[in-house]
Structure 1
């Protein structure tokens, strides 16, 4: 088990209240008609294409942003993700009316974290500078690995060669602003390039809007999801995502492997985030289980203030 870092704990409510308070305000504004679907879509696109990439580049190129990620860190997080994915798929197979692709997407939803809209602001708030490096390293690996596995498994029975599937995945990733900004930020860091003057001011200006805009966009987008599509099934996926996934990571990070306490905490909180929007986008793309996955996004997000508070308490952030 990793050693304790000796810092004074942070009150968990001061971490989650602003995060989920902004989400609820965005949701309420959308329900009241103060934010239209067009505005919500535009805000989401801005966050995904500009604000969060700027935050990533700004953070990775910050002086003193260094660290080393051991294999135990990756095994802990993705081992927990695999456990939740397998469980979600197994449960879906026991239900009638769900095809092979649908069972895979159930498992994917149970292990795919909402990193951009909730994970980044939450973890930076909880662990600050100590958590920034492991957070963005995990973000860099999480996106291509999880999306790659889901795409490969769903299309494994398609009439495409492995090379064609890998080529399609590469094209998707190369068009993804988050993936590109991670590459740019790590390249600049490796070359010792640190923005200054006007470029730094510009990057920081966009980066400063990322958290609030992301949370408002998430809240406004929740209006489109319908819980009543299958409340029981959506709740099962939400509990797997919010409870089983971080539980498996916590056991591995704190009781099987050894790593700095901030790294272990980041991995657990990353896993504790609600179902990510990528699960819904995959369901739409493959035209299966769309309603169920959409409902699970909403249910897991609504449960997240409670479950995140519990995990922050487990991590000593109370």
Structure 2
């Protein structure tokens, strides 16, 4: 399939529902060919942002630009975008081929041509042998592939995905993540994918956009977002970090950079303080140890199973918890 990479830009985009501001002057540029995940908790504005890009919500203020065109007043079908919904929204009375070809039928494409294009897309997503089946005869993963083929059949410049993996079981979700990333690379277009799953965003995205309360908290690659969270919210939402106030500043320290000690430390590079073990959670390759310092600060240390087994602890044990000063990452006030 030919590539159709087009830049997408939001310029101070706002969405208001009466007195409620769902999206607050969001500005963002997504280069063509990027897999971008809009990540955040429920109610942060990520789905409203996606729907404004698609044309399913009016823009209260600001501009949505696709390529060199401001598309605020264009209907969804004229924007060069396609939307893949959380529910997949397949027509139950149409077989798989006709589901994929439906938008081409609405556009007046001849039957032979639209079926040829539908078969081409079904082959791409390994669903060619299911063309005559009804959606109810498909598994969740198969329905997702059909929905993806239907979205891609119009050759969009941007594909918009609204939590497309949330209905799948954990094992299928992991497999479909890899497939979505592969399809994005093969088509060479931008995918804009809404999710509340940090793991999903880290696995899929070239660009992660963390949103909170209608605003963007941070934009970066998955490694940048995880290793250098800019704010307390990002550090806590991404997980795997402890937020530690120290000497009038606030730091994030990765949980896997904390170490537990039974004796007094002598290394000046370590910050060691007493703590009580409040919980131990076995996770297979790692063990999560919850701790409470006398000042009330709660911490979590993530230890490799082998390291934990060398000096195991149980709830109620008194330990020293420490980290290297170089592992602290200062957060914005």
What TM-score results when the alignment is normalised by the length of structure 1?
Answer: 0.25
Which structure is larger by alpha-carbon Rg, 1 or 2?
Answer: 2
The structure richer in strand per residue is: 2
| Larger RCO, structures 1/2 (Cα 8 Å, 6+ apart) | 1
What TM-score results when the alignment is normalised by the length of structure 2?
Answer: 0.24
